[in-house]
Structure formats: C-alpha cells, structure tokens
Structure 1
C-alpha cells in the first residue's frame, strides 16, 4: 500500500519555500501535492519522492487555516490523518486535523526543520557556526567600518574618521589642505556610519565637474553604490519623488541649486547625513544668502548629520569661514563679530600648548611659560597637573603623562576644534620633494604667425575667437587647439603634431627616463589623442589615452595598461580629466604638455603623483615656447606663488584677484611684472596669516597621533587576519562562486553555474571581477577590488547565513573506536537575540553571540571536552534520505535532547549579558563624563548631543537586559562502526 493519503501534509525537500503541501491524490505510480500558500502543484513518482511527512510533537506551536494557534499536548490518528490536541491562546482545549493546518506555515527555525526531516550539508553547518564566530569578532573590532575601504592607512584621515563617525549626528567641517584627502575622510565617515547602522540614507551634493569623480571614488574605494541623480533621471520617475530612488543620492549642486522644485523634493525626504563638497563656494553675507547657501541651510535644519568639505579657512576669509559654521550650528554661531573676537583668543591657547613643551624650565623663562599655561586653565584639577609638570622633582614619566593630559584638555577646549578639522602638509609630513624642469622651445611658424598678428592688431583677438569658437585666453594658451580650430588653409594642411617641437622633445625625454613611467597631461582631449598618434607615428611609442570621451571600462583598461610595472606602457597621455580622482602614485615623472589656467587645476594635476606614500621626488617637466602666453603663465605660477614647489591652498583667492588682468597680459605682456609682484605680496601675506596661532591650534587638534596609531593597528589586525582567506574559500565554494588564482595575490571571481542568485558584482553569464586580499596590491590597480570582512560580497554571504536557514540543520556520522555504534549526540548552537534599533549599533557591545552545547544521548554536556573544530574534522557526510530516516526513528529522543540543550545554554546567558552591560556602561559613561566636563568650557558641545548620549545609554541598557537565547542551528551525530563508515 502507498504511504500517502489525501489530506496528509508533506513538505518538499528541494523546495521548502513552497510551504506546507497537501496530498491531493495518489496511485501506484505518482502522488500529486498542492502547495496552497504558493498556489503550486507538483506531481512526483511514488518511488523515493523528495518529500517529508510533517508530524508535530508535544509542545510545538501550530496554526490553523483560520488563523488561530495552539500548543500541542497530544495527537491521534484517524483514517491515516493526524489530529492534534492542545490548548489555544485562550486556554480552550481544541482539536486540529492536519488537513486544516495553515498552508503558509514555514519551517524556518532549526528545531522545526530538523524534526520535519529537512537537513542541510555538513559544510553548510560548519560555515554557519564559523560565520557566527567571525561576526562576533568583527562587530566588536574598533576598526569596524574603517578597515574595508581601499585606502592607505594615513593617520590624520583615520583619526578624523574615527572621531567623527563615533559621534551622535556628527556636524563637522573638513578643511584639510588640498591633497590631504577630504573626500577620503568623508567616504570613511559615511562608510562607517552605514556599517554601524548610525546612518541609512545620505545626500551628497558636489560641484558638477566632480560628480563623476565622487561616483568612482565611492564605488572603487568604499564599494558604495550611489544613485547619480540629474534632471533626466528625475523626469524618468514621473510624479514620484526622485530622491526616494536610492539610499545614497549623489547630485550636482548646480542642478539642484537652480531648481526650486527639486530642492523641495530633496527637503521632503528623511536623510541621516548631508555631505556638501566645495562648501566655500556657497555665497553668504550677513545681509543676504545665495541660492546654494539657502538650499543647504534649509536641508541642514532637518538633517541630523552634516559634513561640509571646504578649502582651508584663510583661503576665503573669516566671513566665509563663519558662514560654514552657521550651517553646522546656527545657535552657537550667531554673530560674526563675536566669532572674530573669540577666534583671536585661541592664539593664547596655542601659545600655552607651545609653553607646555618647554616646561619644566627654570628661571624667568620657566615662570613665563607657567604663566602662559596658567592663564588659559581655570579648574583645580588642571592647576594640580600644572604644579606636577612644573615641579623639578617630578619624574620624566610623570611629566610626560601630565603634559599629554594637559595638551588634550587645552585642545578639547578650543572652540571650533570640535567642529572643524584642518590638516596641512607641513603638519602631516611624508610628502616628496618636487623638482621643476623647464624646457624652452622655439615657436613653430604655424603658431608664430597668429601670435605676431595678435601683438600687432588689437582687434584680431575678437576675430580669432569668432573664427575658432574658442574662449579667451584658451585660444592663445593652447596653440595646437587654435591651429586645429582655424579654417582650413594651405598653410595648415599637416597635423599639428608633425611640426610641434614638444612632441619630439617628449620622445627624447622618454628615452632619457629609461624604464620609469611618465604621465603626460594636456588640457584638451583632442590634444591628448593627437599627441598619442604623434608618439606612435614619429617614435613608434604606444601610449594609451585617457580622456572624458571614454567609457569607465575603457578608462580602467588604459589606466591598468599604464600601471602594469612589468609589461605595461611607459607613458600614458591624459586630458585634463586625467588629473581628477585617479592615483598614479607609482609614477614620478609628470609632463605638463601645456599649463592649465587655474592654480587649483595645476595643483590637481601634480596631486595625481604627489601623494602621501610617494617614494620618490616628483619630477615636473614643462615644455614651453619662449615668450609665448604659456611662458608668461609659467612665470606667474613660479614667481608669483611658488606653485610648483608645494600646495599652498590659496591659489583660488589669487586667481580671483588677478585672473582677469593676467588673461589680458598673456598676449602682450603689458603689466605682467606688476601682476606677478602684487600676486607675490598677497601670497606672502596669506602664508603669514596661515602660520598664526589659530591655525597651528587647529592642526594640533586635527590628529591625535596616539589614537590614530591605535586605529591603524586595529586595521592591520583586520588585514592580517589568517581566518579571512580560509573563510572566503569555504564561503565561495558553498555559494557557488568560481575562484581562479591569477598569481601575484590576485583572484578572479565569477558566477558558477550553481551560484546562489543576488551576490554583489556577480551575475551568471557575466565575466565577474578581479580581487585581492592585499591592500597594497589593490591600491596599485584601479580595476582590482579589495576583499575584506567589510566587502559587500562577504557581508552579503554572511548576512544570508545569519538571517536565513542555510546550514541550521545537519546530520553526520562519527566513527570513533571508544564510542559504540548507534549512539546519538546533538550539537546545538544557540544565539543571543536582542532586538534593538539599528542606529544604536548594539553589536559593538553585544554582537550575536554563539553558545555551543554538545550533548550525548544521556544528556551529558560534552562541550568543554570536545571542540567544534576537533569534532568537525572527524565527521562524515550522509545521504539525505538516510538522514531523514535516522531523524524519523529518533524523534522522541531528539525532542528531549533539544529541551535539555536549551536548559544548558540558559546557564551561560547571565554572564554574557553582564559582560555586555559592563562594556557598554564603561564606554558610554566615560564619554558622557568627558563631554559634560568639556561642555563647561567649549560651547561647541551641543546640548542635544549630550541628551542623545544619555538616551542611547538608557536604550542600550534596556535592550541588553532583554537579551534572550534562541536555537540557531543543530547537528545530529550518529556513531557508526568502521565497516559502516
């Protein structure tokens, strides 16, 4: 007779997601099952169908088709169907035939899946337990959120990210000098806030020219996919709010600031973080606000966290600096005049910190230093510290400890030091020297004719601009572009690169450079393309071209061909976009085929090579035509502002002051010496102001090196974690990802035919991506992803395991000479369950914690005697059909062991909760005490920040107190004889 009867409830072993099935009919060949919840019907052969009979036991909770629930006390069988007997939620005794069970019942919990015969592979169970273990470690690591991004470990960037991302609703100004990585700092802060749950939605507003750079930077360095929103994309959403189309929205400031309707839509959304790049361009005066400033001001009023990225304060003046601070805290920064007076007072604090370094000194000098420090402290504890420092009998160790403590106190009390972070190159250090090599060349006749006519005929410039369609002064600066744009003429019949001496000069430089890489940047895309053609035709040199007309993939290929140190191209030619957002740090020779008109763009070009960590001096090569507009511009850069020696951060101000006059002087040279002289005078004045005490104080406060070193060391531990490659190999294999070792620490990952869908960056039928575990290797290649515990691929795989059923049941065989065959053991993994809002980041104190209980069939706890790893390596797999039969035959015994295991695990819970509460209270109580003390001296500590910390502590305390254990996974182990194994 068939074991199937209409009305019985079964589940599909291969399609458990279909829910509870009902037998419709059965004959001697097939059985038909209706899965009501999914409205699917399946027909199976009666010979070994992939089905498991559902039979609940005493104590199980079940649900009826009408929605009421009951707890089973007993059951009986009537005509081949089970009838369950128990109490409902009102305490009434009821009967529920299995045919009336709810179709939607799922068997997600390990207990239900095991007892209904649903078992997974043993390696899945192993991966689940190891995932719990690694998740527990990772979430408590102080480097979480900072270790995954593809960045160099630069102290000031790590310090700022760690400090800011740890605050409630951070509102800060990132004002580092050019080239020190404000974008990276903002990306690190955003990345950590997202990973820790303190932020879920962010709006990023950047200048139109930088949208691509930000898009690429966030994706490549931080593996953050953002939605780039413009008018075309917005219109595609119809009447819906386009700002709701993604969690991370990137938009052009020019587009948004010019569109009141889109501004209203942006303001209607709930954002956790607002990031504004180049914030110093937001116009504001005490009398009136520009449209961009007004838009950001309205957003800032409702968005809790704000990051403003801006030029250094002295670049745009005190009023502009005050305007940025108003956006962060309008209550604190109400009066410009009061702010100016307050800022002057910080010179005394800076002088006091300098005096600290000299104490204890004797005589009149020592007394003056002590008075300088004493003038800016006003509490007994600080005075006692000062007495210790001044006491000549104090030990050196005591004095150093006191000096550090006093310095930290004074820096904390600096007014804008808490809301503003400013680092300079001289303070950070680690930058290479720059060497300028100027190559004067003779003007070719095709260019000389036009320049001579311009010098003779004042009206010819207007004619030239009309003829070429170029702008002034581009028409006279970029002579090859002018040549190409002039109407066809018999004298202009050959390509410009055939007669331009810069091309042959460059070929000579390439020969001299030997095997060194050479990056060439030209202003215009057509110039870059023509130059590459000239190098090929005239010198047989292959040069990949990098310009804005290429797709992202094509740019990657060009950059990769240049970056390859063994077989790559010696030279790469870029248009101006080549100086945006790319790291060519492996190269030390930069050829500026022409010069950009704006100082910031010049510095941006040099900044592609001149970066922290560059191992060689930067060799800057500038070919220039004698007495040409380019030669005059070179003089203004070199003599007026030392632009080639180091970045100074004041080029924009100098260009605003002298740019128009300079453009006129480029043609005839009239007034050029005076312009250079005045530029130099303003330049020297601004440098002197930059070195004032206020700025030195900001620099000291922008990086606390002891803390930065601690963060860097924690990241290195993450990087060197030996468990990561082992875990990655196992996870990729189980999830069906093909991994090919390419050598040189590189892997190519591609979706395998059996890959589980939805893994980031991997789609069946597509080529996948190249990755590495090495930070150094990833930094050298833009097209290589860096795999870490924080990479989206690993987080997705771990997340699926932790939130799903994968591997939460298993059955294995164990052969052991000391254990008779037929014995049963259960390996139970319980997990802490503590519901709490994601924003609390509870995991830093109590991440999901595994409690492992290993019981023999008598209920004896063997957990302390047999380790997980030691047991796992001796287990053998078993076929699913055999596993289901074994479980079916031991149902009652398994239920008893599950209950016994729960009691054993509960004994561990109090100590887990107590340890978590201790960690939380120690951390938050110390931070709250520090901020309360600081708030008495520094008004930049907001009342809402203090209250938020109190509320967070109370919420965490309640959440941790409510922690419970739940069964996460269970493995049944059956001993066998040697012959059976």
Structure 2
C-alpha cells in the first residue's frame, strides 16, 4: 500500500483529464485528493487507490505555480515530500518543493514507462492510436448522444432533443400528444447531457405505476442504469441519504410526495436535472398549492435543469397549465392574468407566418393584394432586421433564391421571437403525420333485466342509493355508467347471480375474439372488480384465460401481465385492464381496443385510445364499443361522437368541454330530454376552440416544435455514425485485445461472451456468464428487445475507449521492421502527442477541441519522417519483440531516446498553435452566433432567461481560456528497430 502525505502530487490513472492532484488528507482507510484545474475532489480507498505518484527525474523540465521552470538535476525527500533541485531558465540554482508545482503541469507517463523498460504489445499501441483518432472525430459530431440510443429516427423527437439539450440548464415542458414519444425525448436529452458532461446527477419522478416501465425503457433504449428508490430500499441505507446511492435516481411520485423526510433528503441531493412525468397531476390553484406541487416546486428551485412531461398540458384548465410554466420560470410567469392576455395575441403571429407563404413571387399578385399582405405581417414586426427581410421578400426585383432565403429567415425569426416554443414543445398527430386512422365500431345491445332493475331503482331512489353506493368507493353520477358495478353494490343476496352470467357484453366479447382470429385485443374497463370478474367469467364460460392488469397488482405483477400479452409467439390473445391500463403503458403492437364501458371524462377516453394509437402503430385502429340501448352509456357515447368527434383524433379541448357542460351532461345521462341541447352547445364550443387553436397558440407550437431542416441535419449526422465502416473494424480489434469472444450467429447478429482472458469486468460481460447478443443494425435492434445495438456510444465501446485513453494501456511499445530499403541496426521512434485541455466537465470543451493526436516519427538522426511514412503503412510491417530483449535495448539507448523525445516535443509544438486557432474559431463561430441570437430574442421573447444569456457569456469566456491554455503531452511512444531484410 502506498504511503500518502498531505501535499504530495498524484494523478488519477482512470481520469487523467482531472489534471495534477494534491493530497488533502489521508488516514488508514481513505485518501482525499483535490484536482484544482478541473475543480474536482475524489476520495479513494487507501489500499487500492487508482493513483500514480508524480516523480520527475534528471533532465525533466517542470513548472512552478508561479510560472518559472526548473530543469531537474537531483531531488531529495523531506517529511514524505519531494524537493526538486536544478536550474531555472536563467541558469540560477533553485529548489522547487512538489507542493509548489503548477496545477496545470503534465506528467508524461509514456516517457517514464518507456525509460524504465515497461513496454506493451504492438497491437495495444495501434489500438490506442486508433482510439484517439476515432474519439477526436466522434466528440465533434453533432449527433453525439443521439446516435447510440435504440430508437427510430423520428424528426420531431430528435429536433426537440437537439434544441433542448443544447441549452444551458434547460427548463422546458414536453407536451406532445399521447403516443408521440415524450419519454424518448426526455431520454435523449438526458443521454446527450450525460455524455457531454453537462449533467452528472438526475432525479426522475414518475407515477408509481410507471416506475418499472421507465426503468426498463432507460436501460433498453438508452443503456442507462438508474437506481430505483422506494421506502424499503431507502430504509436499507439507515441514517445515510438514499438519494446519494447513485447518479441517476428514479422514484415514485406518490411515495415521495407523501413523505416529508424523504423530500428533505431528495432536496439535499444536489441534482443537475429534474424530470417529472405526468406533470398535469400536480395540484395548484391561485389560492394555494397541493403537497405534490409544492414538493416539485422546491426541487425545481434547487435544480438547474427541469423537464416536465405531460400529454395534456391544459387538462386541468388554463390555471393548471400556468402553474406548470411557473415551475419552469417563476420570474417569467408571475401573473395568471398577464398569461391570459399574452395567449390572446398568438393568433396574429400565426396568421403572419401563414401569410408568408403567399408572399414569394409577388408579381403574380396585384400590388394592392401584396401590400395588404405585407401590412398584416408588418403589424407583428418591430425590429429592423425583420423589416428588411420583409422588404426583400416583397420586392419584385428580388431573385427567387433571395426571396426564399428571406422567407425562411423571417419565418424563423417570427417563431423564435414571438412564438411560445421556448419553454413548451407540443407536437400533434396532425402536424407530425403518418399515423393510422381510427375506426369506431359500435355494437348496440339490449339491456338485460337485472340492469333495467338497478337503473329503475337509481331513478326512483337517487338520494338513498347514493349513500349505499359511496360505501364500496363508487361515485355518483359515474356509477350509472357501470351497470355491473351497480348490480354488485346493490345486490341484496351475497349469493346473487354474478353479472357476467347474464351480461351480453361477455358473449359479444367471446364472439369478437373468434372474429379477429389470432390478432390481439386489449380490453379496458373502469373498475378493478369488473376486470377481475370479467376474467373469471371468460374462464368459466368458455375456458378463455386472460391476464389482468389493475391497480391492486404490484409493479412486478403488472409487468408480467403486460409481457404475457406482448409476447408475439406464446403470449395471450387478450389482456383485461382497469383504468390504470390507460396510463403510460404502450400496446402499439395491438390494433383492437374494446371499451367494455366508457369513462365519463374525455381525457380518460383519449388516454385509453392512446395506448394503441402511438408511434410504431402500423395498422388502422379498431375501437370496439358494446353499448346498451337507451342507457346512460349510449347517451354518453352520443355526446362523445356528436359533440366533439372524440374517437376520430386527439384535439386537446375535451377537458374544457367537460368543464363547461359536465353538470348538464350528467343530468342528461339520467334524463335524456336535455341531451340534444347539451350536444348542440358542446359542438358549437368545440368548433370555436378548434378554430382558435388553428389560428393561435397551438398553430405556433406545432410550427416551432419541429423545424424540418434542422431535424434533417441531426438525422443525417446520426446516419453518418450509423453507417461508419470504421466501427466494426475497430470493435473487432478491441474485443480481441480485451479478451471478448465474438461469434457471428447470422441475421446480422453477433454474440459477445467473455473469454477466460478478459481484462477486468466490462459492461454487460461478466466472467462465467453468457454475455449478450448484439447488432450494428438499428432496424434489427429495434425488432428485438433482447438484442443490443452496437454503436460508438454503447457502454461496452465507451468503456474500452475510456480504458485506453485514460490509462497506460498501450502507451509504450517496441517493434522490429524489416524492409529492403532500410539497413538493419537503425532506430526510429514513433511519438503520439495528445492535446491536453483541463477544464470543468460542464464546459464540454471536447465539442470544439477533443483530445487531438499529433504524430511525430523520427529516425535516429532526428529527421522527421511523419509526412513520408503513414501510421497504417508502417504498422503493417512491424514485428514483435520479447520483453526481455526489449528492456535491454531501451536501457542501452536511454540517452539517445531522451534526445529524440525532446526533439519530438519541439516538432509537435509547431503544430499546436494551428490546432488552438482552429478550435477557437469553431467555438467563437458557433457560440457568438448563439449569443447574438439569444440577446436579440430576449428583446422580444420574455421566455429567454437572463441567467441563460449570462451562462452562455461565462461559457464562452471559460472555453476561450481553456482552449488557449491547451498543451501537448506525450501520450504514447513506440521504439522501432530495423532488422536486416536478408537475415
């Protein structure tokens, strides 16, 4: 075990990018090291710390914290600390204690390992250099973070992810309609932020029923391992904070919101990002906030990044929607009344954007018509840039290309500066397109006598029956819609005949199963008891076995039921769900939906349909509704169909319509005389609201939520990485070196399995276990849940690259070369230098200046052969050398090797200024443009936060300093000895 003393200087073997560290304190068990240049602190086990002591030898040149340099001649140890002795730049004798070494000092492990005779295999050296080149290329690809996830390349999802993940501490509401992939958007944003270092810790809060689904989704699609917390697991941590058990924590909302102690622990978690699913369930009114909303508000205030997910942002009304936006930006959304007023102005902006389509080619219009269009657009423009674009667009002498460019720019400016998409992204099926149609199939059935009796009793004794119905937890007036529940609740005799024996819906359902053949069918009913008793009835009456899915099951039991239904070969044909089955679960592999009864609220109706009507659904959706004639259910069906076209497509106004006419509807369900009037009034308001949406806010949101050109660029960058021919070649070499067996099992599939020689544990591979199947094909991976997709972002690939770049593996080698044109006995040294730019992770400096390789090949005279002899060309002709003679040769040539390494450093240094200049140019070109855009946008759109602009200014300054201070360090060195070609 190493002996640690405060003040000693060490570097991390696995995280060399942290820079030079200083031991802060130590005891018999741990050692704590501060890495000042990267603003990081690490605590390690004293017995197994992955640290290397920094110790320089004679001839080495080192820098002090004050900036002067020392050429080392000797050293001594004082109280466990090294004091270096030598001469400074002026030839004056000086001493430099290690405590005063510059924090930015580099430690050339390759040089020291080589000079002490430590050499690795040639193929390790080759792989290290290739890894460095690939890493440099991939880190600068704009698709970084998006190419690895196992997803379809869908434009609106990738546009939103790219737009949001590019912001400083993004705070947005993801509000796509049900089935358009909000979870995937959130996963993409999280994955990108993690890979770029902008996020290290994230808290994900989801409804209890969706925790396991999120867990599986993040693992299967994004290869992200999260810690799922509940009370039992939290108690296992004793007095420790369970929210510090991992970097990514997933927890149930219901559990956290009900426990103030756990809330306080979560608040102490120091998160970078908070994700809240189903955010419309958070309760807030102008008079006060519910415990759930208050908890999220406290977490949101303490967390830089915030993603709120909801498919129905205005489900609980405009006030509730305002409350979500207030969580995102309390300063921006202070006044509910101001928000109402702002919303009314969106129609003008949407109209102006539509009018832009009419302006190119003004010669085809009358001057008066063109002037009117210009005036209406100009009414929402208040800056010189936009007015100039409008003038170009309307000028008859402008060329067609000029007009098109002006139209595109002006449209973008209107969306940017006046649209609402800065904090909210909402796509609809209408805007995205490509969704299958829905078809409603209604089957009228006769009311059986027992149901007629309970309806009659309800009509005659509403007050007294109400008390009896509340006891089993059934609410009036909903109870009148669920006749089986009424029959169950009002049964006088506990041995009364079960409803499924006389209910014609059961017989109808059995006939429907036969009619659809082998196709799958999802049944949703309102009550849990209905689900259980229907499953029992099908089993008893026809021997049909069906899994059930309801709120009384544990998460694991629900998952098993869903999996039993989803299995395409051995799964059940039928799944019976309670209302909980319409929340969050995805059954798009099924196209038949049976509504065994109808929910009273339009949003619940849409949630039911949304389980099937999702991205990935390839068939027309068949919605089957068995309904009793002259019943409340039949009247409700009429209101849904005739009042709002509820079964045709999502429209987002159902909640408002129910709020306006819900009371009148309930009366009409009992007394049909007023039903026609309720339907007529509902229809009138429905059409008004749709027209307003098309003209105003929703139109702007749709235009802003996916900009096709930008989305196309992201997809093109992803496909470039998907089709990269270098990946299979690289992975084949890496797997061989790391000791992983790869077997082609056909169908574009590989099976990866650890061999007995595997070097340490690797993601998904543990010695003695079977490994996993994988493919490079995105389509093949999407077709099978059990197949992983190999990419540059796959954890296995990233881990192997990280070990190569972060450790010493392959940073030295010795090889022989036989070539007829080169005499034997000559020496060449191949140096691989690497840019070193220590900076806080959050700056993501590698997008502009990733670790960049500079290769210098010198012969024994010091002549630079780099341009004449390529790396690949040389590597093909090299031979192996055993370690013992390799060490002897290095020992005998130490002086010469030192001189050549010094010479190589001078040669490499000549290339550094151009590397820095190119990186600064890339950085300023991108960030200055973004900063100018944000500042211009802030004068028109209050959704641009002041701290966002300030953060970007600080980021630009920090990046500029970090890039300017970039240095080169020797990353790897290979000695090459020529042999006589005729020997």
> In the aligned structure 2, how far is the partner of 1:978 from the partner of 1:451?
103
Equivalent position of 1:856 in the other structure: 859
Deviates more, 1:119-128 or 1:537-546: 537-546
CA shift, 1:487, in A, is 10
> In the aligned structure 2, how far is the partner of 1:953 from the partner of 1:827?
36
> In the aligned structure 1, how far is the partner of 2:250 from the partner of 2:911?
47
CA shift, 1:966, in A, is 0.8
- Flag the 1:168–1:350 CA change in 2: closer, same or farther, 3 A: same
> Which of 894, 914, 917 is the equivalent residue of 1:914?
917
- Flag the 1:38–1:283 CA change in 2: closer, same or farther, 3 A: closer
- The secondary structure found in structure 2 opposite 1:413 is helix
Equivalent position of 2:266 in the other structure: 266
CA shift, 1:558, in A, is 7.4
Deviates more, 1:228-237 or 1:521-530: 521-530
Equivalent position of 1:375 in the other structure: 379
> Which of 395, 399, 410 is the equivalent residue of 1:391?
395
- The secondary structure found in structure 2 opposite 1:691 is helix
Asked whether the equivalents of residues 546 and 576 of structure 2 are also in contact (C-alpha less than 8 Å), the reply is no
Equivalent position of 1:207 in the other structure: 207
- Flag the 1:965–1:451 CA change in 2: closer, same or farther, 3 A: same
Tell me, yes or no, if structure 1 residue 575 matches structure 2 residue 581.
no
Equivalent position of 1:753 in the other structure: 756
Equivalent position of 1:30 in the other structure: none
> In the aligned structure 1, how far is the partner of 2:746 from the partner of 2:479?
50
CA shift, 1:61, in A, is 8.6
Equivalent position of 1:932 in the other structure: 935
Equivalent position of 1:148 in the other structure: 148
- Alignment deviations for residues 62-97 of structure 1 (CA, whole Å, 9 cap, x no partner): 9xxxxxx9976489xxxxxxxx99826998799xxx
> In the aligned structure 2, how far is the partner of 1:118 from the partner of 1:529?
70
- Alignment deviations for residues 486-511 of structure 1 (CA, whole Å, 9 cap, x no partner): 89977759xx8888765665565455
> Which of 873, 876, 889 is the equivalent residue of 2:879?
876
> In the aligned structure 2, how far is the partner of 1:978 from the partner of 1:504?
89
Equivalent position of 1:364 in the other structure: 368
Q: Which ranges in structure 1 are unaligned for 5 or more consecutive residues?
A: 1-36, 41-54, 63-68, 76-83, 95-105
Equivalent position of 2:430 in the other structure: 426
Asked whether the equivalents of residues 547 and 572 of structure 2 are also in contact (C-alpha less than 8 Å), the reply is no
> In the aligned structure 1, how far is the partner of 2:686 from the partner of 2:211?
31
> Which of 786, 801, 804 is the equivalent residue of 1:801?
804
> In the aligned structure 2, how far is the partner of 1:288 from the partner of 1:547?
32
Which residues of 2 match residues 72-111 of structure 1 at below 5 A?
73=73, 87=85, 109-111=109-111
Tell me, yes or no, if structure 1 residue 722 matches structure 2 residue 720.
no
Asked whether the equivalents of residues 355 and 369 of structure 1 are also in contact (C-alpha less than 8 Å), the reply is yes
Which residues of 2 match residues 669-708 of structure 1 at below 5 A?
679-680=682-683, 682-708=685-711
> In the aligned structure 1, how far is the partner of 2:202 from the partner of 2:449?
56
Asked whether the equivalents of residues 833 and 855 of structure 2 are also in contact (C-alpha less than 8 Å), the reply is yes
- How many residues align structurally? 905
> In the aligned structure 1, how far is the partner of 2:471 from the partner of 2:381?
69
CA shift, 1:131, in A, is 1.5
TM-score by length of 2: 0.81
Equivalent position of 2:815 in the other structure: 812
CA shift, 1:803, in A, is 1.0
> Which of 945, 964, 976 is the equivalent residue of 1:961?
964
Asked whether the equivalents of residues 108 and 970 of structure 2 are also in contact (C-alpha less than 8 Å), the reply is no
- Alignment deviations for residues 138-178 of structure 1 (CA, whole Å, 9 cap, x no partner): 11111112222222222222222211211122222333333
> In the aligned structure 1, how far is the partner of 2:982 from the partner of 2:558?
62
- Flag the 1:147–1:92 CA change in 2: closer, same or farther, 3 A: same
- Alignment deviations for residues 660-680 of structure 1 (CA, whole Å, 9 cap, x no partner): 887788789797666655654
- Flag the 1:656–1:201 CA change in 2: closer, same or farther, 3 A: farther
CA shift, 1:883, in A, is 3.6
Which residues of 2 match residues 11-50 of structure 1 at below 5 A?
none
Tell me, yes or no, if structure 1 residue 331 matches structure 2 residue 331.
yes
CA shift, 1:842, in A, is 0.3
Asked whether the equivalents of residues 545 and 572 of structure 1 are also in contact (C-alpha less than 8 Å), the reply is no
- Flag the 1:793–1:773 CA change in 2: closer, same or farther, 3 A: same
Tell me, yes or no, if structure 1 residue 402 matches structure 2 residue 400.
no
- Alignment deviations for residues 779-809 of structure 1 (CA, whole Å, 9 cap, x no partner): 3334433332222222222222211112222
> In the aligned structure 1, how far is the partner of 2:287 from the partner of 2:581?
41
- The secondary structure found in structure 2 opposite 1:649 is coil
Which residues of 2 match residues 732-747 of structure 1 at below 5 A?
732-747=735-750
- Flag the 1:109–1:626 CA change in 2: closer, same or farther, 3 A: farther
CA shift, 1:324, in A, is 3.0
Tell me, yes or no, if structure 1 residue 833 matches structure 2 residue 836.
yes
CA shift, 1:658, in A, is 6.4
CA shift, 1:849, in A, is 0.5
- The secondary structure found in structure 2 opposite 1:417 is coil
Equivalent position of 1:97 in the other structure: none
> In the aligned structure 2, how far is the partner of 1:382 from the partner of 1:463?
65
Which residues of 2 match residues 508-527 of structure 1 at below 5 A?
509=512, 512-513=515-516, 518-519=521-522
Equivalent position of 2:349 in the other structure: 349
- Flag the 1:718–1:497 CA change in 2: closer, same or farther, 3 A: farther
> In the aligned structure 2, how far is the partner of 1:201 from the partner of 1:839?
12
> In the aligned structure 2, how far is the partner of 1:958 from the partner of 1:820?
48
Q: Which ranges in structure 2 are unaligned for 5 or more consecutive residues?
A: 1-44, 49-54, 63-68, 76-81, 96-105
- Alignment deviations for residues 440-474 of structure 1 (CA, whole Å, 9 cap, x no partner): 45677887887787678768967986997777788
Asked whether the equivalents of residues 244 and 269 of structure 1 are also in contact (C-alpha less than 8 Å), the reply is yes
Equivalent position of 1:300 in the other structure: 300
- Quote the RMSD (CA, aligned, Å): 4.3
CA shift, 1:584, in A, is 4.2
CA shift, 1:745, in A, is 3.0
CA shift, 1:953, in A, is 1.2
- Alignment deviations for residues 830-868 of structure 1 (CA, whole Å, 9 cap, x no partner): 110000111111011000111122233333322222222
> In the aligned structure 1, how far is the partner of 2:277 from the partner of 2:971?
45
Deviates more, 1:508-517 or 1:844-853: 508-517
Asked whether the equivalents of residues 522 and 573 of structure 1 are also in contact (C-alpha less than 8 Å), the reply is no
CA shift, 1:326, in A, is 2.9
Equivalent position of 1:125 in the other structure: 125
Which residues of 2 match residues 435-834 of structure 1 at below 5 A?
435-441=439-445, 492=497, 505=508, 509=512, 512-513=515-516, 518-519=521-522, 567=569, 569=571, 571-573=573-575, 575-576=577-578, 579-592=582-595, 595=598, 598-612=601-615, 614-624=617-627, 631=634, 634-654=637-657, 679-680=682-683, 682-834=685-837
- The secondary structure found in structure 1 opposite 2:307 is strand
Tell me, yes or no, if structure 1 residue 923 matches structure 2 residue 926.
yes
> In the aligned structure 2, how far is the partner of 1:555 from the partner of 1:108?
56
CA shift, 1:959, in A, is 0.6
CA shift, 1:956, in A, is 0.8
> In the aligned structure 2, how far is the partner of 1:234 from the partner of 1:327?
27
> In the aligned structure 2, how far is the partner of 1:169 from the partner of 1:937?
21
- The secondary structure found in structure 1 opposite 2:420 is helix
> In the aligned structure 1, how far is the partner of 2:982 from the partner of 2:451?
93
- Flag the 1:467–1:376 CA change in 2: closer, same or farther, 3 A: closer
